A and B are shown apart, each in its own frame.
Chain A
Amino acid sequence: MYRQKYIFLLPGLLVLVAIILFPLLFTIRVSFSSWDVYNPGLNWIGGENYARLWEDARYWEALIRLTFLTVATVTLQYTLGFALALLVWRDIAARRFFRVLFLVPMMTTPVVMSVIWRTIFHESLGPLNPILEAIGIDAQPWLSDAGFALAAVMIVEVWQWTPFMFLLLLAGLLSLPNEPFLAARIDGAGPIRTFLSVTLPMMGAISVGAILIRLIEASKLMETVYVLTSGGPGTATETTSYYIYIRGMRDFQIGYSASLSLTYLIVMSVALTLIAKALIRLMVKDRT
Chain B
Amino acid sequence: MKTKTTLRGAMLTTSAILISAGAALAEDYTRFGIKEDVPGACSFASIDAKDYSGRTLNIITHAIPVIGEPTALHAQQFQELTGATVNVVHVPFGDLFQRIMIPFQTGQQAYDVLFFASLWLGDFNAYLAEVPQAYQEVSGMQSVTPTYKGVASWNGKMLNYTMDGDRHYLKFRSDVFDNPEMQALFKEKTGRDLTVPATWEEYNEVAAVFNNMDWDGDGAPNFGTAEVTKRDDLMFSAFISRVAPYAKHPDVKGGFFFDLETMEPLVNTPGWVRGLELFVAAQASMPPGGTSFGLGDEIFSFGGGQTLMSYSWDDAFIQAMQADSPIRNKVAAAPLPGAREVWNRTTGQWDTFETPNTAPYVTWGWSSAVAAGSQNQDMAFDYLCFFSNEANTLADLQIGRFGVNPYREAHFDPAFYQTELGWDANVATTYTDTLKAIDGGQNQVFDLRVPGVGEFMSSLAAGVARAQSGEASAQEALDGVAAEWKAIVDRIGVDRVREAYANVVALEDN
- Which A residues fall within an 8 A CB radius of B? 34, 36-41, 58, 122-126, 129, 139, 141-144, 146, 149, 226, 229-236, 246, 249-253
Contact = CB atoms under 8 A, between A and B. Distances in A.
Residue with the highest number of chain B CB atoms closer than 10 Å, among A34, A125, A139, A149: A125
Contacts of A58: 462
B452 A38 contact: yes
B418 interface: no
Given A38-B496, A232-B230, A246-B232, A143 B289 contact: yes
Interface stretch (B9-17, B71-79, B92-100, B183-191): B92-100
By Cβ-Cβ distance, the 6 closest A-B pairs, closest first, are A123-B289, A234-B469, A40-B105, A123-B288, A251-B455, A38-B451
Interface string B448-488: 00011011001000100110111100000000000000000
B439 to A, nearest CB: 30
B292 A229 contact: yes
A249 B455 contact: no
B301 interface: yes
A144 B292 contact: yes
A230 B232 contact: yes
Contact of A250 (B97, B106, B466): B97
9 contacts: A229-B292, A230-B231, A230-B232, A230-B294, A232-B230, A232-B292, A234-B471, A249-B97, A252-B97
Interface of B: 94-95, 97-98, 101, 105-106, 123, 230-233, 287-292, 294, 297, 300-301, 306, 451-452, 454-455, 458, 462, 465-466, 468-471, 491-493, 496
Contacts, number: 107
Contact of B455 (A34, A37, A122, A234): A37
Nearest to B220: A124
B97 A124 contact: no
B288 A37 contact: no
Contacts of A139: 288
Contacts of B101: 37, 252
A234 B231 CA distance: 8
Interface of B is mostly: helix
Contact of A124 (B123, B287, B294, B470): B287
Contacts of B492: 38-39
B123 A232 contact: no
Nearest to B120: A37
B465 A143 contact: no
Nearest to A40: B105
A85 B451 CA distance: 55
Contacts of A234: 231, 465-466, 468-471
Nearest to B470: A234
Contacts of A230: 230-233, 294
B454 A143 contact: no
Contacts of A146: 469
A40 to B, nearest CB: 4
A231 B288 contact: no
B123 A38 contact: yes
A233 B464 CA distance: 10
Given A34-B491, A37-B101, A37-B454, A124 B301 contact: yes
Nearest to A245: B94
